[in-house]
Amino acid sequence: MPKSLLKPAGGYPIRTCPGCSTTFQPTRHDQSVCSKPCREAMNNHEKARAQQVYRALYHWRKSGGRMGKGPEGASLGDISRLVQGWIDEDKACGRLVPPLPYTNR
């Protein structure tokens, strides 16, 4: 097992849960939330956001990239504003968005 995955002698550093903002002592090196209910709530929150973006992109592409009319219409500007609103909301709540698991280096 790589040394980076071994539990340090003093335990892992205390972290703040991005879902409920409480501090907790992780029991694993990759534990990011305090409990199973909190993890499930975070996953549901992310799924709901993903569905909104998927629908908006689908209708944007379906319209040939033109701004749509009615409830199904969306432009890239609309989608960008939607995501920026989530970023602002996360910052205001102190919710940290984990980095992507890959980089384009």
Contact 17, 34 (CB under 8 A): yes
Amino acid at 49: R
In this predicted structure, what is the pLDDT of residue 2? 57
Burial zone of 68 (CB within 10 Å; 0-12 exposed, 13-18 middle, 19+ buried)? middle
Q: What is the mean pLDDT of each run of 10 residues along the chain (105 residues)?
A: 57 84 87 90 90 87 66 74 87 67 52
Greatest alpha-carbon pair distance for the chain in Å reads 60
In this predicted structure, what is the pLDDT of residue 37? 93
**What is the 8-class DSSP label of residue 34?**
S
Q: Model's pTM, two decimal places?
A: 0.65
Domains in the chain: boundaries: 12-93
Burial zone of 17 (CB within 10 Å; 0-12 exposed, 13-18 middle, 19+ buried)? buried
Amino acid at 20: C
Residue with tokens 């960008």: 80
In this predicted structure, what is the pLDDT of residue 86? 87
Contact 75, 67 (CB under 8 A): yes
